[in-house]
């Protein structure tokens, strides 16, 4: 076991109460209603939806609140009929077995929780589905199942006997709010934009967002947008290169648009990558200008989407798709520039900008101007003065370090 | 601040400390002096005008007049373009006004909050600022400084006495520069002064910086040649290069230059667009019609920048349009010859 102090934040901040579970309010209501009053209508419930949106968390929180004892099995356990009978049958045959064992435990009964039921596959689990079906039929206690993909054919028999509760991706603003709360409790100073990027990158997966937050904020308890730049898109089933290849080789706008809608690459990175690669795709200046015109429109849609208006995403895809089809006949395969030039450039120049910003903050404080104004109307002149005379009196007056003086003297003109 | 620690940028050294020292701006100074006689009657103030026309100087002079040498204890200087969002502004103002609830003593009627570049704040941030002003107005007065008062929301404007600052007049600026040079034991030749005045477009701060830099080049006399040299070496080069490369159809090089600017200097997309616009009008090899056409393109992308999510995309698109425009000039030229 890990030491208390090194707890994963996903565990440390796993909600203990139903109301603390973030998002998916409809699913929560449906599930709780079943657990409280409607267990007689269906014997089992199947919670399904993407990973990390709170299915297991909700079950555990609900069990705690209603004082159920959870008997858990998950995909890592063997699912053969024998194993299921060994664990599940005793659990379901008596209404409350555990309640005698512990005087303080006010458990009102057991619930059987079968996590990741879509993990049932192959020879090892032979008969697994049928065994679960039998258990559901015979069960005296609630049976709760969780799955990521409810469309796997062999789960169909389960769907007939279960109440289906659908979980969706948790909305980005909710994830941001949760991350902000954790930052507060963990004393992490985080830029809003950084949290925004983590949340967007998670695609509604709260668990991955919290994990990213913990790994990126590291030991110095701070998190800037820059720190998140190297964040890789999660759950990528196809790489950005592969998506670019498909994007540029598809022959119609409609195909490209639907390809984009089904891909899971990070939209922002992908837009940047498309823009980076347009000059390699179109060598004719008029075609290039048109392609960028569409990229520009796509970016405007991205701006309007912000973190709220995700229903506008289709227009973003459509505008972006148009940039791929300016002149379909001229397409020849080419090697892509990835990752985005912007991200690489900003990464390698971070130190330079920091030094310059520090110098400008010193100037700004003494001369009552903003950092930006200092850059524009002071730095060009300070640079010339220091080039003439390295120990110019302004050096001591601005309290510039030798490193900063050196930086100013050797920096180029903008 | 200790007097031994002399401010060595001339813009600071020769910044007037009191309202009486301010040259020009007579109407504004007179109104402010009236407020100073009965400080409690002073409303929130808004100073609007182009850079380098004395807005900050007057705000600081008010602080000096109200509080004397210990003005810094009662004055909070904030710059909206440096602060990260309205929450920081709110926290800093809250912390600052907290002291004032217990009172500063008989002679200090209120605390002063100088918010520079307030037109850089977004609409929602300004709405929040309005609340802050309401809450803080019992214990403090605001001086909002901005370039354009039209970018400030109505409810804030209506709470302030607005003063408009126009560009410093050429003759006044020239005299001022010659005066400073004299105090620094330099002789600034009239043509040299004219050249600085012309270049700085009514921005006195910029003009004084040019003057101080030329003094590092030559002893005794500052002539026009030295001024021209300094102006040449200080003016932006990369933006020019980016525009030229684009107009010659070299999109890749132009965009590389753009990333040089963004990466090494950290200028915002807005600032780069603003500089492109300035540079276009300096390019004498373009016809007035071409400059106007290019300006039209710039205007479109300036607007898109406010709509979009990513300034690089919009700047790249602008460069691509420039490349196309350059190609057309070339073709027109070939046809007419």
A23 φψ region: left (φ > 0), alpha (ψ -120 to 50), beta (else):
left
Chain A CB contacts of B304 under 8 Å are 296, 299-300
Chain A CB contacts of B320 under 8 Å are 278, 285, 288-289, 291-293
B23 vs A293, more confident: A293
Tens-digit pLDDT profile for residues B210-247: 999 999 998 889 999 999 999 999 988 899 999 999 99
Distance from CA of A317 to the nearest CA of B (A): 15
Q: How far apart are CA A201 and CA A343, in angstroms?
A: 15
Does the structure show a pLDDT above 50 at B4?
Answer: no
Residues 6+ apart with CB under 8 A from A169: A50, A53, A203, A204, A205
The pLDDT of residue A357:
93
CB contact under 8 A, A367 and B9: yes
Q: How far apart are CA B127 and CA B123, in angstroms?
A: 6
CB contact under 8 A, B251 and A285: yes
Q: How far apart are CA B95 and CA B136, in angstroms?
A: 11
* H-assigned helices in A250-349: 253-262, 267-281, 285-305, 313-324, 341-348
How many Cα atoms are found within 13 Å in the side-chain-facing hemisphere of A270?
30
Q: How far apart are CA B268 and CA B310, in angstroms?
A: 11
ipTM of the complex as predicted:
0.86
Q: How far apart are CA A81 and CA A135, in angstroms?
A: 10
Tens-digit pLDDT profile for residues A220-246: 788 888 777 766 654 444 578 888 988
Interface of B with A in 82-111 (CB under 8 A): 82, 84-85
Measured between CA atoms, the residue of chain A closest to residue B256 is A341
pLDDT band at B3 (very low <50, low <70, confident <90, very high): very low
Domains of chain A are 4-166 (3.40.50.300), 172-228 (1.10.8), 240-338 (1.20.272), 349-410 (no CATH)
The pLDDT of residue B7:
63
Q: How far apart are CA B334 and CA B326, in angstroms?
A: 13
Choosing among A293, A368, A396, which should be mutated to test the B contact, i.e. which has the most B CBs within 10 A?
A368
The pLDDT of residue B107:
67
Distance from CA of A18 to the nearest CA of B (A): 31
The pLDDT of residue A121:
43
Phi, psi (rounded to 5 degrees) for B142: -105, 140
The pLDDT of residue A249:
87
Q: How far apart are CA B145 and CA B149, in angstroms?
A: 9
The pLDDT of residue A3:
42
Beta strands at B140-146 and B75-79: parallel, antiparallel or unpaired: unpaired
Instruction: Name the residue with tokens 């980076």.
Output: A276
Helices B311-336 and A267-281: crossing angle in degrees, nearest 10, is: 20
Instruction: Name the residue with tokens 């008010």.
Output: B62
Interface of A with B in 241-260 (CB under 8 A): none
Residues linked to residue A371 through DSSP beta bridges, in sequence order:
none
Nearest to A292 among B203, B205, B320 (CB): B320
Interface of A with B in 211-230 (CB under 8 A): none
Nearest to A381 among B77, B81, B212 (CB): B212
CB contact under 8 A, B304 and A384: no
The pLDDT of residue A237:
45
Question: 3-state DSSP helix/strand/coil percent for chain B, to nearest 5?
Answer: 65, 10, 25
Across chain B, the runs of DSSP E, i.e. the strands, are 44-49, 75-79, 111-116, 140-146, 160-165, 187-188, 221-222
Nearest to B313 among A275, A372, A389 (CB): A275
3-state secondary structure (DSSP) of residue A110: strand
Phi, psi (rounded to 5 degrees) for B240: -55, -50
The pLDDT of residue B9:
93
The pLDDT of residue A254:
86
What percent of chain B shows pLDDT beyond 90? Answer: 56
Measured between CA atoms, the residue of chain A closest to residue B145 is A369
Work out the mean pLDDT of chain A and round it to a whole number.
81
The pLDDT of residue A41:
79
| H/E run at residue B84 | none
The pLDDT of residue A83:
61
Does the structure show a pLDDT above 70 at B188?
Answer: yes
Residue A236, token pair as written in the block: 């990528």
Residues linked to residue B141 through DSSP beta bridges, in sequence order:
B112
Instruction: Name the residue with tokens 């005066």.
Output: B179
pLDDT band at B56 (very low <50, low <70, confident <90, very high): very high
Tens-digit pLDDT profile for residues A250-309: 878 888 888 888 887 888 889 999 999 999 999 999 999 999 999 999 999 999 988 778
Torsion, Cα of B242, B246, B249, B250 (10° steps): 30
**Burial of residue A55 (number of CB atoms within 10 Å: 0-12, 13-18, 19+):** buried
Helices A267-281 and B251-265: crossing angle in degrees, nearest 10, is: 140
Does the structure show a pLDDT above 50 at A114?
Answer: yes
The pLDDT of residue A101:
43
The pLDDT of residue A395:
92
Tens-digit pLDDT profile for residues A181-202: 999 998 888 888 889 888 888 8
Tens-digit pLDDT profile for residues B288-308: 999 999 999 999 999 999 888
Does the structure show a pLDDT above 90 at A387?
Answer: yes
Phi, psi (rounded to 5 degrees) for B107: -85, -10
Domains of chain B are 10-165 (3.40.50.300), 170-234 (1.10.8.60), 238-327 (1.20.272.10)
Q: How far apart are CA A339 and CA A231, in angstroms?
A: 11
Q: How far apart are CA A60 and CA A14, in angstroms?
A: 10
């Amino acid at each position: 076991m890990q030491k208390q102090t090194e707890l994963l934040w996903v565990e440390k901040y796993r909600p203990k109460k139903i109301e603390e579970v973030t998002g998916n309010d409809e699913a929560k209501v449906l599930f709780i209603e079943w657990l409280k009053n409607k267990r007689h209508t269906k014997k089992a419930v199947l919670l399904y939806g993407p990973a990390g949106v709170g299915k297991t968390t909700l079950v555990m929180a609900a069990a705690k609140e209603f004082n159920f004892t959870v008997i858990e099995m998950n995909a890592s356990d063997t699912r053969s009929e024998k194993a299921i009978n060994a664990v599940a049958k005793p659990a379901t045959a008596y209404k409350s077995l555990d309640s005698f064992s512990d005087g303080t435990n006010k458990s009102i009964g057991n619930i059987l929780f079968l996590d990741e039921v879509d993990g049932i596959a192959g020879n090892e689990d032979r008969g697994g589905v049928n065994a679960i079906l039998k258990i559901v039929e015979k069960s005296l206690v609630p049976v709760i199942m969780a799955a990521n993909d409810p469309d796997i054919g062999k789960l169909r028999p389960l769907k007939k006997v279960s109440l289906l509760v659908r979980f969706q991706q948790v909305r980005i603003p909710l994830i941001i709010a949760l991350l902000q709360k954790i930052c507060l409790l963990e004393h992490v100073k985080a830029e809003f934009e950084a949290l925004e990027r983590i949340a967007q990158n998670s695609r509604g997966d709260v668990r991955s967002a919290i994990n990213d937050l913990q790994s990126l904020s590291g030991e110095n308890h701070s998190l800037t947008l820059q720190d998140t730049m190297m964040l890789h898109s999660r759950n990528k089933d196809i790489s950005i290169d592969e998506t670019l290849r498909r994007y540029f080789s598809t022959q119609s706008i409609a195909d490209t648009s639907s390809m984009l809608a089904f891909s899971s690459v990070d939209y922002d990175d992908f837009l940047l990558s498309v823009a980076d690669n347009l000059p390699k795709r179109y060598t004719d200046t008029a075609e290039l200008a048109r392609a960028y015109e569409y990229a520009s429109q796509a970016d405007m849609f991205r701006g309007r989407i912000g973190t709220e208006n995700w229903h506008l995403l289709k227009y973003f895809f459509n505008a972006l798709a148009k940039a791929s089809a300016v002149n379909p006949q001229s397409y020849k395969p080419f090697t892509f520039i990835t990752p985005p030039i912007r991200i690489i450039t900003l990464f390698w120049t971070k130190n330079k900008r920091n030094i310059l910003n520090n110098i400008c903050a010193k100037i700004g404080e003494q001369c009552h101007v903003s950092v930006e104004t200092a850059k524009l109307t002071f730095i060009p002149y300070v640079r010339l003065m220091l080039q003439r005379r390295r120990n110019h009196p302004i050096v001591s007056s601005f309290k510039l370090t030798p490193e900063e003086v050196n930086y100013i003297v050797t920096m180029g003109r903008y | 601040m200790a007097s031994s620690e002399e401010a060595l940028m001339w813009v600071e050294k020769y910044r007037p400390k009191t309202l009486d020292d301010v040259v020009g701006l007579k109407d504004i100074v007179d109104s402010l002096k009236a407020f100073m006689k009965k400080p409690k009657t002073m409303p929130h103030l808004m100073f609007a005008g182009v850079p380098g026309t004395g807005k900050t100087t007057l705000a600081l002079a008010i602080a000096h007049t109200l509080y004397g040498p210990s003005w810094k204890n009662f004055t909070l200087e904030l710059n909206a373009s440096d602060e990260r969002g309205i929450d920081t502004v709110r926290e800093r103002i809250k912390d600052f006004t907290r002291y004032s609830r217990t009172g500063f003593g008989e002679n200090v009627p209120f605390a002063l909050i100088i918010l520079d570049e307030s037109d850089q704040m977004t609409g929602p941030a300004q709405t929040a600022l309005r609340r802050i002003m309401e809450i803080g107005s019992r214990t403090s007065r605001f001086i909002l400084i901005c370039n354009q008062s039209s970018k400030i929301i109505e409810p804030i404007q209506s709470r302030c006495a607005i003063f408009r600052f126009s560009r410093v007049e050429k003759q006044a600026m020239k005299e001022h520069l010659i005066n400073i040079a004299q105090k620094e034991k330099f002789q600034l030749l009239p043509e040299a002064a004219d050249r600085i005045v012309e270049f700085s477009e009514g921005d006195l701060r910029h003009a004084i910086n040019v003057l101080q830099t030329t003094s590092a080049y030559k002893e005794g006399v500052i002539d026009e040649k030295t001024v021209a040299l300094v102006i040449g070496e200080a003016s932006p080069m990369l933006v020019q290069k980016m525009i030229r490369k684009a107009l010659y159809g070299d999109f890749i090089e132009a965009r590389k230059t753009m990333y040089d600017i963004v990466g090494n200097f950290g200028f915002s997309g807005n600032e780069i667009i603003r500089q492109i616009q300035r540079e276009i009008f300096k390019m004498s090899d373009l016809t007035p019609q071409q400059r106007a056409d290019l300006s039209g393109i710039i205007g479109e992308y300036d607007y898109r920048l406010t709509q979009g999510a990513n300034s690089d995309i919009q700047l790249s698109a602008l460069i691509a349009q420039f490349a196309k425009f350059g190609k057309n000039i070339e073709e027109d030229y070939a046809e007419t010859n």
